[in-house]
Structure 1
Amino acid sequence: MIAGLLGLQGAFLDHIRHLESSGAAWRIVKAASDLKLIDRLIIPGGESSVMKKFLDEFDMVGPLSRQIAAGMPTWGVCAGAVILSEGVDGAPGVLRAIPMAVRRNAYGRHAASGTHGLRIPLFKRRRFPATFIRAPRILVLDPSAAVHCRWHGDPVFVQYRRVMVTTFHPELGEDNVFHQYFLKI
């Protein structure tokens, strides 16, 4: 199994240590041809509008959408969740791989970002330190999607089939439980 890290823009390097500590092989994905070399993909946090521009510029939207629709496990982290959403800020999303609508940077400016302890029943944990950085807010979510965690009532860890999203950054902490889970879906 080889996990791909979309390396067009964003914080993809922090995922490497968690993949390695989970025993996974990985490669950076920068072109549509790289998609044939991976079994699953992490779309990292970063700037979703810049990511969208690069996905369009490198003709990756179609091939990536088809591979996800065919069942490739995919994880969107923060901006990656925005890229995977059906709707963003009232407009159509980029990959439209998960039936939800989001608002970018919904919780305020960078100064409002921070780390909060989340209880995640799926992992049977008391608290997971979740770092939110200008996080998107999930406004609408199809009932067929599983909500694994909420923060102040909002879904922040969601899974739809083999696509999962976190509106926070698990890769910034020391615990690789999210990466281990992703490698099993």
Structure 2
Amino acid sequence: MITVGILALQGAVREHAKALEASGAKVKIVKCMEDLQEIDGLVMPGGESTTMRRLIDKYEMFQPLQNFAESGKPVFGTCAGMILMAKEISGQDHGHLEVMDMKVHRNGFGRQRESFEVALTVQGLEEESYIGVFIRAPYIESVGNGVEVIASFQDKIVAARQGLFLACAFHPELTDDHRMHAYFVKMIEESNEQLHKIS
């Protein structure tokens, strides 16, 4: 069984854990750099990206998280987690981890009172629409050549994949539809198979 870590500095950790376990994965709560050595993939949940970055720096997790992303293991960022992964952030001089070739717009759909739910068509989950829960949500302004857009809403990109990196602007952990988490678990399983072939 694969083990998926959840960066547990802020955000809906318990809800992510429930969705991952329902998708057939074991869950590891990640609070320090040593925890990263025990996992096959990592979820970076929502929260507030500036606060999350401050906590990442406080617990000396910045370089270990970058190293993990570069190690060939999948990473899934949701909402603020997506912002942390982006190479560029609109209105800021630089990004945070800068592991995914995209430019994001923070609070792109408005503040808390503008939160909403909407049916999305997500590539790879085509059997039926997926309800996206948007809370102070960002969106992706643009992507690089190697990035595949997998969902859009109102002409704004809200989910994308670049190799082993998956990102979405909405909160998949806040619904009973676990298909986004199952998609990520499958990414990890496929990555593990490739790593075993190489070794």
Confirm or deny that 1:102 pairs with 2:104: yes
Count of residues in Structure 1 that have an aligned counterpart in Structure 2:
185
Residue in structure 2 matching 1:113, options 109, 112, 115 = 115
Segments of structure 1 that go 5 or more residues without pairing to the other structure are none
Cα offset, 1:11, TM superposition: 1.4
**Where in structure 2 are the equivalents of 1:60-139 lying within 5 Å?**
60-89=61-90, 90-139=92-141
- 2:190 equivalent in structure 1: none
SS of the counterpart of 2:54?
Answer: helix
Letter in 1 for 2:89: V
Contact 1:43 1:75 in 2 (8 A): yes
Residue in structure 2 matching 1:159, options 154, 158, 161 = 161
Larger displacement relative to structure 2 (122-131 or 37-46): 122-131
Aligned identity (percent) is: 35
Q: Which string of whole-angstrom CA distances, capped at 9 and with x for unpartnered residues, describes residues 75-126 of structure 1?
A: 0000000000111233211111100111211111111111001112321133
Cα offset, 1:140, TM superposition: 2.1
**Where in structure 2 are the equivalents of 1:16-95 lying within 5 Å?**
16-89=17-90, 90-95=92-97
2:123 and 2:31 map into 1 onto residues whose CA distance is 35
Cα offset, 1:155, TM superposition: 1.1
**Where in structure 2 are the equivalents of 1:143-158 lying within 5 Å?**
143-158=145-160
2:155 and 2:128 map into 1 onto residues whose CA distance is 17
TM-score, structure 2 normalization: 0.90
Confirm or deny that 1:169 pairs with 2:171: yes
Cα offset, 1:178, TM superposition: 0.7
Residue in structure 2 matching 1:181, options 175, 180, 183 = 183
Post-superposition, which runs of at least 4 consecutive aligned residues in structure 1 deviate over 3 A? Answer: none
- 2:191 equivalent in structure 1: none
2:120 and 2:114 map into 1 onto residues whose CA distance is 17
- 2:144 equivalent in structure 1: 142
